[in-house]
Amino acid sequence: MPDMKRNPFSLRRVIVILLLCFVSGSIMAQKINLDTLTIDDLNVYKDKAVKLRNAGMIVTFTGVGIAAAGWISSSIWAGNFKGESGEGFITLAPFFIGMAVGIPAAIVGIPIWTIGGRRIKKAVLAIKRFDTKPENSLALGLGITLRF
């Protein structure tokens, strides 16, 4: 059998590199420049940000609630358990299920909540750019506002 040398640059590596390039390209394509949006687009962006923040809050509090419900139900069941000492481990099942579902949900919800909050702040700042009312102006009558 001839001695076959393996190509160090295999097809699997090429596929992985291409996938990483496509994923990073699609992530960069999702960046939105708020300076180029109109007031209507900014309002839509702000509404989406509010929905994202609210979804993060719901997921976070639901996860914490599921974890707490699992802990409470497990402690109640363990307090009322009258079986043998080796069988008491089954009373921890709600606790483990609640923690297995609740903690990941809270961990996912917190970043969604903060990302939505940051987007709201950015949208509000960009919307203020369209506010042309001169506030605290000492000039009386008709005025001209110059923006550069």
pLDDT tens by residue, 6-32: 666 677 777 888 777 666 655 555 677
Choose among 97, 48, 42: nearest CA to 69: 97
Confidence of residue 70 (pLDDT cuts 50, 70, 90): very high
pLDDT at 38 over 70: yes
pLDDT for residue 143 is more than 80: no
Which pTM was predicted? 0.65
CA 3 to chain centre: 52
pLDDT per residue as tens digits for the range 86-125 = 667 788 888 999 999 999 999 999 999 999 999 999 999 9
